[in-house]
Structures are given as structure tokens and as C-alpha cells.
Amino acid sequence: MPVTARSPVVLYLFSCLIALLALCGYWYGLGKPVVLPDAATPSHKLQCASYTPFDKDQSPFDQPFTLRPARMDADLALLATRFQCIRTYSMTGLEAIPELARKHGLKVMLGAWVNANPQDTAKEIKALIAQANAYPDVVSAVIVGNETLLRKEVTGPQLARLIRQVKAQVKQPVTYADVWEYWLQYPDVAPAVDFLTIHLLPYWEDDPKGIDEALDHVAQIRQLFGSKFAPKDILIGETGWPSEGRQRETALPSRVNEAKFIRSFVAMAEHNGWHYNLIEAFDQPWKREAEGAVGGYWGLFDADRQEKGVLAGPVSNLPYWPFWLSVSAAISLLTLALAGRVTQARGAMLLPLLAVFAGCCIGTWGELARVTSRFVGEYLWAVALVALNLIVLAHAALALSGKTGWRGRAFVWFEARAGWWLSAAGFAAAVMMLAMVFDPRYRSFATPTLWLPALFYLLRPVPAPRREIALLTFIVGAGIVPQLFREGLSNPQALAWAAVSLLMTLALWRSLRVSGLPAVPGTLPQSETERTPG
């Protein structure tokens, strides 16, 4: 059926409507609030939460090491509205905690940091004993070391002697805290403590548990320990779920999943009469440096001490979705403006969809980079990937435009340099693939950054340096299977990365078929396959 003169206009308007609905649906789908049963209410306080007093711009590795008394006072005032007690991990710089806890009606499980340095440990233990004896009405228990056996900084007998030393000098119950498996690996520690403090973090298990299996796993381990170490009590000293970060097999970090886990766990623990401590009170951005993005987002409140919706009320995976909707809409409108009037039916149909697709990819990467970037280099890398996507988007928009006037000249300029853009996309894909194969544990999947260049240059292969493109093709393609082997086929984020990497591999491979042929200014390079002009 022949295309009438009005067909492009009708198709363009219809495509704009579909694109608008897709744009709004995408961002609302990511950010829509979810209603769950509340865990904490004004009349029901939870047991305990881990507390470290660092502001979002602070780290324990700062020199000089300075904590802010006003911050600690405000934090404890906030936590006192939701919890009965707090758990601390170190004595250094936290001397004011017991007095502030008394002020706000909180109990404290006071912790000393035990490490491989005997002088540092002795200093922590001395302060722990002094504070426990000075505040017997506030300090409900003392914790001698946290995951010290996991870090292999002391032996089991050394730790047991240290625990007995503290027990002889305080009246409170004495315990040690570690991942549950290490209590089984070091059986000589359990007889020394008054009760066992075990860490149960389903996300970090060697065999990660998805949100639907996580509570069953916690219940099984708690039941095992309750039976094996009876009559000693068991404190679940750390349990929780991250709100941001990379997926590990079926374990997906998100705010909704964090709220599901915390609220369901609290209900289960209180039904069974378990003692528990939630990790952790506030997001700690400094932990991202050592643990990747996921390390900084275990908080029940964010780093600004604002509600995340974890404990009560509706919860959203992307509370700032209207902002990213606006960013994507702006990118889409600028793309349409750049392309101008489209005279062909195909361009009229594809251009609005392209604009929205690219806007969503760039917006998604913007949010991902915001929460995952840790160093100046990673922020610069994120900006470079945004710039690359904007360049490819401009190239794609001009390819679909009418190519008249300045748009035609701009298209010729972009087309003449298309090999650069493809090489840059291939280089980015290769670098990220090598990282995902050889050092993936703390890295997030940058999938949104490759969809646009992979699809565009797959459909429109361009000449590029053969030797470099062949190498990039090999690196990206060869990494797909090892990456999936490491992540497992149950990880949707890994599958999406594999899919976009496959598309990028095919795009690079197709470019080899046209590489070396001269590109005619203002036209598309030709190959053995038929190429349709934009």
C-alpha cells in the first residue's frame, strides 16, 4: 500500500503517543510505592539496631579521625523513636555514646574492635571495661570483637582468653559477634561467652539467597544454633538486606526487598521470641569503597537521616522517579528537536521510540552511577559513558532525519566519525567485560550504557579500524560465557549484561564487513548486505 503525504505525520503522532506512554510507564513502574505491613509504629519499638556515627561525608579512615557530638545526639534521638537499644562496634571516638543513650532512654550493646594489633586491642578492651562499669544501667551487654575470626586476625584460643578477661571485670553478659559459620569452625569460642551473637546476611552467603528464600534460611540457622548451643541464648547480631547494589544470583538489592525482609523478619523474630539486632541504622557511603555500592546501602534510614520506607509506610524502589522521568523527557524532546521534520514513514515511526529509549537508558544509568560510583575515576567514567550515549543518540537521530540544511552537514560530520563512536563503545564494553569476568564481586552491571550503541551499530554497521575492532570483538564475545558461569543463570542482571554484550559483539563483528571501504560523505557505507538510507 503506497504511503500518502500525510502518512509520516500520522505515524509520527502515533509513535509519540506510544513513546510517551512507554516513558511514563517505565519510570512509574520503577518507582511506584508498595504497601507492606508496618514493622515499627509509634506504640511498638523494635529491639536493636547497629549504629556507627559517621556522617555521609565521613569515614573511619579519615585523618584526623573526628566524630561530631551533635550528630550522635541527633542520631540517638531519632533512633529512640523506633528502637529500644543500639549496638556499637568500637570504643574509639564513641566515649559519649553511653551518656547520650541514657539521655534518650536507649540501652547499648557496647562493642570493642579486636584486631591483629595487640596494642590497639588492649586500648579498646580497657575502654570497653571502663564504660561498662561506669554505665551499668545503660550498657546491657558487651561484645568483644566483631568478625575477627572471619578476618583471621586472631585465633580461637586467643579470642576465648580475651573474652574471659573481660568477663572477669564486668557484670554485664559478654559475647562475641561473627558470621554464623565461624561459630561452627571455632568451637572453642562458644564456651567462653554468655550468649552467642551470630550474623545472618542471606545476601552475602556463599550461596546467596533470594528474597523469597532468605527468611527460611534465617529461620533454619537460628533453629540449628538454638538446638546446638542450648541452653545458651542466641542473639541474631546482624541481619538485613541492602537497598542498592549489584544482584548476586537471585539476591536482588532494592528498597522494596529491604522492607520486605526487615518487616517479615521482625514479625517472625517477635513471634518466636528471638533476640535480634538489625543492620544498620543509617546508610554508610564510606563502605562503598571496600564493598562496592551494596556496602553503603544497608541502612534503615539514608545517609541524610531520612526515611527510606523500610520500617513503616509505603516503600518505593526509586523515590526520585519523577526527576528521572523529567531528565528522560528532556533528552527525548531535544532528540526530536535535533532531528526536526521527518519526511519518511520509517523515520517518523522510529524517531520518537528511539528518543524515549535513549532517554530511559541514559536516565537509568544516571541513577545507577549516582548510587554506585565510589571514586573520582568512576564518576568520570560514568560521565564519559553518558557523553558517548549522547553522541550515538545524535548520530542516530540525524540518520532518521530529513538531512536537509545544517542537519545534513551535521549528519555527514557524524557519519565520517562513526568508526570512532563504535570503537569507543566497543572499548567501553571490553573494559567492563574484563572487570565483570576477573573482578566482579563489588561491581555493578553497567548494562544501560550499551543498549543504544549496540543496537544502533548492529543495525547500521560502519567502517572502523579492523585490527582494533577485531580485538574488541574477541574480548567482549569471549567474556560472555565466563561471566555467566561466575554469576549463574538465575541472575537476571547477569543475563541482561550477557544479552547486551552479545549485541555489541555482533555490532562489532558486522562492522568488520564494511571496514576498509571508503565512506561516501553524506551517505551510508555499503557492504555485501543491503543498507537502507536513513
Q: What is the pLDDT of residue 1?
A: 35
Q: What is the DSSP letter of 35?
A: -
Say if residues 204 and 175 touch (Cβ distance below 8 Å): no
Q: Can you give the length of the chain in residues? A: 534
Instruction: Kindly list the structural domains of the chain, giving each domain's residue range(s) and its CATH number in brackets, ordered by start.
Output: 9-30+319-514 (no CATH), 38-296 (3.20.20.80)
The confidence score (pLDDT) of residue 61 equals: 83
Is the pLDDT assigned to residue 2 strictly greater than 80? no
* 4 band by pLDDT with thresholds 50, 70 and 90: very low
Q: Hey, what's the torsion of the CAs at 426, 495, 218, 110, to 10 degrees?
A: 10
pLDDT at residue 503, rounded to an integer: 98
The whole-number average pLDDT for the span 369-398 is: 95
- SS3 percent helix, strand, coil of the chain, rounded to 5, is 55, 10, 35
Model pLDDT for residues 178-193, shown as the tens digit of each residue: 999 999 999 999 999 9
Bond prior to 231 in cis (omega within 30° of 0):
yes
Predicted local confidence at residue 403, as pLDDT: 86
Q: How high is the mean pLDDT of the chain?
A: 92
Could you tell me the CA-to-CA distances from 131 to 85, 235, 263, 358 in Å, in that order?
A: 16, 22, 33, 57
Of 272, 166, 252, 158, residue with least CA distance to 212: 252
Cβ within 8 Å of residue 173, ≥6 positions away: 140, 141, 142, 194, 195
| pLDDT value at 168 more than 70 | yes
CA dist 193 and 173 (Å) reads 8
Strand blocks (E) in 75-138 = 83-87, 107-112
Strand partners, 235: 197, 275
pLDDT confidence tier of residue 441, bands split at 50, 70 and 90: confident
In this predicted model, what pLDDT tens digit does every residue of 51-93 receive, in sequence order? 999 998 888 888 777 888 999 999 999 999 999 999 999 999 9
Cα distance between residue 296 and residue 260, in whole Å = 19
pLDDT of res. 268: 97
Query: Letter for the amino acid at 491?
Result: N
pLDDT in tens, 259-295: 999 999 999 999 999 999 999 999 999 999 888 899 9
Q: With contact defined as beta carbons under 8 Å apart, do 92 and 62 qualify?
A: no
- Tell me the per-residue pLDDT of 312-352, one tens digit each, with 9 for 90 and over: 999 999 999 999 999 999 999 999 999 998 888 888 999 99
**How far is 360 from 448, CA to CA, in rounded Å?**
9
Among residues of the chain, what percentage have pLDDT more than 70?
Answer: 95
- Please report the pLDDT score of residue 454 as a whole number: 97
The predicted pLDDT at position 7 comes to: 78
Q: Which of 386, 378, 383 is nearest to 331 (CA)?
A: 386
Q: List Cα–Cα distances, 122 to 91, 155, 170, 351, 512, in angstroms.
A: 11, 16, 16, 68, 65
pLDDT band at 465; cut points 50, 70, 90: confident
3-state per-residue secondary structure call for 232-267: CEEEEEEECCCCCCCCECCECCCHHHHHHHHHHHHH
Helix axes 255-272, 211-228, angle to 10 degrees: 30
**Quick one: average pLDDT of 106-128?**
97
Q: Give the largest CA-CA distance in the chain.
A: 94
pLDDT mean over 104-121: 97
Q: What is the mean pLDDT of residues 508-527?
A: 59
Q: pLDDT value at position 411?
A: 94
Query: What is the average pLDDT across 33-56?
Result: 92
Q: How far apart are CA 179 and CA 238, in angstroms?
A: 9
What residues pair up with 144 in beta bridges, in sequence order? Answer: 112
Query: In the predicted model, is pLDDT for residue 513 greater than 90?
Result: no
Write down the pLDDT at residue 6. Answer: 56
Q: Give how far Cα 217 sits from Cα of 285, 302, 403, Å.
A: 28, 27, 61
The predicted pLDDT at position 517 comes to 45
**Would you place residue 17 in the very low, low, confident or very high pLDDT band (cuts 50, 70, 90)?**
very high
Identify the top-confidence range among 209-213, 338-342, 518-522: 209-213
CB 315 within 8 A of CB 34: yes
For residue 516, the model assigns a pLDDT of 52
> Averaged over 35-62, what is the pLDDT?
91
Specify the pLDDT at position 344: 87
> In sequence order, what DSSP letters do the residues of 158-213 get, joined into one string?
HHHHHHHHHHTT-SS-EEEEEEHHHHHH-TTTGGGSSEEEEEE-GGGSSS---HHH
Checking if the pLDDT of 528 tops 70, the result is no
Q: Which residue has the cell 536513513?
A: 534
Please indicate, yes or no, whether the overall pTM of this predicted structure exceeds 0.85.
yes
- Does the pLDDT at position 247 exceed 60? yes
